[in-house]
Amino acid sequence: MSLPKINPTTTKAWNQLESHFNKIKEVRMQDLFIEDASRADFFTLEWQDFYLDYSKNRISKETVDLLLKLAEEVKLKEAIASQFTGERINQTEDRAVLHGALRDFDHMKPEVKEALGQMQDFSKTIINGSWKGYSGKEIKTIVNIGIGGSDLGPDMVTEALSYYKNHLNVQYISNVDGDHVNEVLKKLDRETTLFIIVSKTFTTQETLTNANTVRKWFLEHASETDIAKHFAAVSTNLEAVSGFGIATENIFPMWDWVGGRFSLWSAVGLSTCCAVGYDNFEQLLKGANEMDKHFKDTDFSENMPVILAMLSVWYNNFFKAETEAVIPYSQYLSKLVPYLQQAIMESNGKSVDRNEDPIDYETGTIVWGSTGTNAQHAFFQLLHQGTKIIPTDFIGFSESLYGNQDHQNKLMANFLAQTEALLQGTEGTEVATNFRKFQGNKPTNTLLIKKLTPHSLGSLIALYEHKLFVQGIVWNIFSYDQWGVELGKKIGLTTLEAIESDGNTKNASTNNLLKKISM
């Protein structure tokens, strides 16, 4: 069975949403709160340590009913079942999509269990110092070399879990920018550094170039046989990894049923596992698995990923919002947005539907943002007084990790005040000039989580994974391929040839630029 292929704009619910939108588009949330005293209680969801308040949205009960009807009509239920039962729903690559299986401890695939065991043993010996480098010293630094999903997920999680980190110094090299690689290398000690090369395909230009540069640097003072003590790899391409000279016991598996941007739960997360230890890594997986169960088994009206996804569809397709923002009120989550940008925009940036027809409605949301409170002093001006509608997710934690209550109170005060200001504007207060006027009526979701732990972080990431999947189903696109990155890669290769041979490309503008580069 393949995914349903329903053009959402042909459904009854879409039609009804269009007329409903015409009624609601001028309605102000300020009035909705006055009219209905139960609004704040009604539009909330509680699940484990998560509390989602979505009352500050430009919606009524009817909006939510219609959005959920749309989800039914596009056969979301069937699509969720297809994903979790391992049907080959990534049709254009003929693959199943089973990142959920990487964290399903109740029904764990033997190969996943084995890989987790391998990760546990490996990380343990690195952390406890029994793994020795070529000169007999313990490993102090781990460097992950990868890009895209082989970098963003592990980097984001390692940063997010800094509080739970051990003594290891964990770093990430992704860009093919040689200056950055040199900056990293100049601070490293060969004798105490271990490199993990992560590439699902092991063909990615950036990763292979960086890995070769690092290998050469390593061999300036060490021998080929020392590579086994300082290099590990994660890939599906075992042949290419062996060709690189990595010892068989240091090779960790990947599977074609795990997309790169959903792979942090696999051995791609090995650097994280070393940084925080296997037990914390397992908690991360368990938290994600709890969210999987919630997503699979909960009625749409109580289903957090479904509600968030459908609200986003509402703004994207009816209000024609151009972007949406994510603002975590935790500096630990400073890398969440770049991670989400790949997950969401690589998945849903599509303009051909599942019938292979061109699409005439909006798909993939543009996601951006940064941490609060910093963002308040940067781009919040535009959220408050700009002309654009930018639905924003506010993510906060009710407990801080170090327990500094003074800071935490101020952080939370800002977190709450901003959504209220965005909603309320200067309504009811005298303002001296129009310059000082805030219209309010700006939509936000507030996701309040008890505490940042490996478990809650796992659930949070999985929440966004499922949200983007729901949106892909509604938009009738294939979320799990990424053909859009191929053309640039291909032209990149011929452009490199042109640079190396003083040749030309097909385009006059590029040729002028090439001449400037070689001058």
Active site residues: 346, 377, 489
Stretch that binds ligand F6P, among 59-67, 78-86, 128-136, 143-151 (CB under 6 A): 143-151
Instruction: Report the distance separating Cα 208 and Cα 178, nearest Å.
Output: 13
What does the per-residue mask of binding to ligand F6P show for 317-356, with x meaning CB under 6 A? -----------------------------x----------
Among 55, 82, 204, 441, binds ligand F6P (CB under 6 A): 204
Q: What is the DSSP string of 459-493?
A: HHHHHHHHHHHHHHHHTT--TT--GGGHHHHHHHH
* Only segment of 171-179, 200-208, 307-315, 432-440 that touches ligand F6P (CB under 6 A): 200-208
Q: How far is CA 413 from CA 183, 379, 418, in A?
A: 39, 19, 9
Residue 199 CB, nearest approach to ligand F6P (Å): 3
153, 147 contact by CB (below 8 A): no
Please identify which residue in 69, 99, 200, 294 interacts with ligand F6P, judged by CB under 6 A.
Answer: 200
Residue with the two structure tokens 């009206």: 301
Q: Spell out the residues 6+ positions from residue 291 whose beta carbon is closer than 8 angstroms to its own.
A: 304, 305, 458, 459, 460, 462, 463, 466
Question: CA-based angle 234:237:241, to the nearest 5?
Answer: 65
Closer by beta carbon to ligand F6P, 171 or else 204: 204
Measuring CA to CA, which residue among 139, 131, 90, 29 is closest to residue 439?
A: 29
Cβ-based neighbour number of residue 9 at 10 Å: 15
Among 363, 296, 356, which residue's Cα sits nearest to residue 8? 363
Find the part of the chain contacting ligand F6P (CB under 6 A) among 134-142, 195-203, 403-411, 497-505. Answer: 195-203
CA distance 282 to 30: 44
Question: How far, in Å, CA of 33 to CA of 45, rounded?
Answer: 18
Q: Which of residues 206-225 bind ligand F6P (CB under 6 A)?
A: 207
What value does the CA radius of gyration of the chain take, rounded to a whole number of Å? 24
Site string (144-183) toward ligand F6P, x via CB under 6 A: ---xxxx---------------------------------
Shortest Å distance, C-beta 202 to ligand F6P:
7
Binding string, 470-509, against ligand F6P, x = CB under 6 A? Answer: ------------x--x------------------------
Q: Site size for ligand F6P, by CB under 6 A?
A: 14
Q: Is residue 269 part of the contact set for ligand F6P (CB under 6 A)? A: no
Q: Is 260 in the site for ligand F6P (CB under 6 A)?
A: yes
> Which residues inside 72-131 make contact with ligand F6P, applying CB under 6 A?
none
**Phi, psi for residue 270 in degrees, rounded to 5:** -60, -40
Note the residues at the interface with ligand F6P (CB under 6 A): 147-150, 199-201, 204, 207, 260-261, 346, 482, 485
